[in-house]
Amino acid sequence: MADAAKMQVSDEVAIQITGMNKWYGQFHVLRDINMTVQRGERIVICGPSGSGKSTLIRCINRLEEHQQGQIIVDGTELTNDLKNIDKVRSEVGMVFQHFNLFPHLTILENLTLAPIWVRKVPKREAEETAMYFLSKVKIPEQAHKYPGQLSGGQQQRVAIARSLCMKPRIMLFDEPTSALDPEMIKEVLDTMIQLAQEGMTMICVTHEMGFAQAVANRVIFMDQGQIVEQNEPKEFFNNPKSDRTKLFLSQILGH
């Protein structure tokens, strides 16, 4: 497995978040988030449930709206302008906890839908791309089945391939393995590691600490809507600074 440090990180900024705040009604879910992601960087966000980590990455492609501060993705600022939102969404891929494949479409149709309708790619070309990515996630033989006929791990790999078909420059992973059975987690993680080695900019919300140690440049620990600590994986796991981090790590690594 490649060492994280060896993978190259460019100086170019992919995502810039400054002073971002978000509320659900009275509840302050994200508090003064500042964060810069370089192109090619792989960031793992962890933290207890309800700490706002999912909300944070959902803000990055505007599935959630932030109320204060600035989010700039690939040079496009996320404002209320629909054109900007469309632009960011076509640049940023997202993988969900519950896969969210479209059950009424075959795997191949799931993969070609957005390229055809959003990117306006010709159908044949879209299908070729789709098959390429399906073989990359190692399930080209499932192309004509329906999502319901696949196992959870296969579905999640299809979901990853579906995002990749849009040729995104940034990938967001929202707890991609937490809805999976243990024996399927590995196949999904392998796919993600492969993606990381190819230099994709990735932000993953996950509790897979092995994955974090293997590929992440940075681990961000969040609690109560704030970034509590961030560090290189080695330092983060071996020498956590904050008491909250220590407590969290002892809970998830303790058993």
Partner 1 sequence: MSDTHAPTVTFVRDTMLPPVLPPAGERGAIKWMRENLFSSPLNIVLTVLGVLIIWWLISASLPWWLNSVWNAESLSQCREIVAASAGEGATGACWAMIRERWHQFLFGFYPPDQWWRPILALGLLFAALIPVLFSEQKRNLTIVLVAVAVYLLVTLYLAAAPGLPFVLALVLVAGMLALAQVQPGKLIWFTLIYPALCFWLLWGGSIWAPIVAMAGFAVLYLVFRLAAPLIGLAPAAGAGLVAAVLWWLYLEAPVAGGLQSAIPVALQSINSDQFGGFLLAFVIGVTGIIFSLPIGILLALGRQSDMLIVKSLSVGFIEFIRGVPLITLLFTASLLLQYFLPPGTNFDIILRVIILVTFFAAAYLAEVIRGGLAALPRGQYEAADALGLDYWRAQRLIILPQALKISIPAIVSTFIGLFKDTTLVAFVGLMDPLKGVTQIVRADIDWKGIYWEPYIFVGFIFFLICFGMSRYSMYLERKLKTDHR
Partner 2 sequence: MALATDVPKDGFRLSMLIYDTRYRSYTIQVVVLVLFAMAVAWLLNNTAQNLAARGKEFNFGFLWQRAGYDIGQQLIPYSNDSNHFRALLVGLLNTLAVAFWGCILATVVGVVVGVLRLSNNWLISRLMTVYVEAFRNVPVLLWILLSYVILSETTPQPRDFKVTDEMVAAGTEPAASMILFDTVAVTNRGTNIPAPLFDRGLGTLDLGFMTLNLTFWAVVVVILGSIFVNRRLLASARAKQEATGDRPVTWWKSILILFAPVIALLVALGFHLEIPALKGFNFQGGILVAHSFTALLIALALYTAAFIAEIVRAGIQAISRGQSEAAFALGLRPNRTMSLIILPQALRVIIPPLISQYLNLTKNTSLGIAVSYLDLRGTLGGITLNQTGRELECMLLMMLIYLTLSLIISVVMNMYNKSVQLKAR
Q: Give bridge partners of residue 227 from the DSSP assignment.
A: 222
Interaction pattern, residues 163-202, with partner 2; x per rule: CB under 8 A: ----------------------------------------
Closest to 158 (Cα-Cα) out of 170, 140, 173: 140
Could you tell me the smallest distance in angstroms from the CB atom of residue 65 to partner 2?
Answer: 8
20 binds partner 2 (CB under 8 A): yes
Q: What does the DSSP 8-state code read for residue 141?
A: G
Residues 34-63 that bind partner 2 (CB under 8 A): 34
Positions touching partner 1 (CB under 8 A) are: 61, 63, 82, 86, 89-90, 92-94, 96, 98-104, 113-114, 117-118, 146-149, 162-163, 166
Cβ proximity to partner 1, 67 vs 242, nearer residue: 67
Cβ proximity to partner 2, 32 vs 109, nearer residue: 32
Tell me the backbone φ, ψ of residue 73, rounded to 5 degrees: -115, 115
Cβ proximity to partner 2, 7 vs 85, nearer residue: 85
Q: How is residue 180 written in tokens?
A: 């999976």
249 binds partner 2 (CB under 8 A): no
Q: Identify the helix (H) or strand (E) that includes residue 221.
A: strand 218-223
Could you tell me the smallest distance in angstroms from the CB atom of residue 101 to partner 1?
Answer: 8
Neighbours of 15 (CB within 10 A): 23
State the binding partner of 235 from partner 2, partner 1, none, CB within 5 to 8 A by kind: none
Q: How far is residue 183 CA from its own chain's centroid?
A: 21
Instruction: State the sign of the Cα–Cα–Cα–Cα dihedral 58, 61, 65, 67.
Output: positive
Could you tell me the smallest distance in angstroms from the CB atom of residue 217 to partner 1?
Answer: 24
Closest to 66 (Cα-Cα) out of 57, 74, 37: 57
Cβ proximity to partner 1, 29 vs 214, nearer residue: 29
Q: What does the DSSP 8-state code read for residue 33?
A: E
Figure out which of the listed residues 5, 12, 50, 79 binds partner 2, where binding follows CB under 8 A: 79
Angle at which helices 152-164 and 123-136 pack, to 10 degrees?
Answer: 130
Residues making contact with partner 2 (CB under 8 A): 18-21, 32, 34, 65, 68-70, 77, 79-83, 85
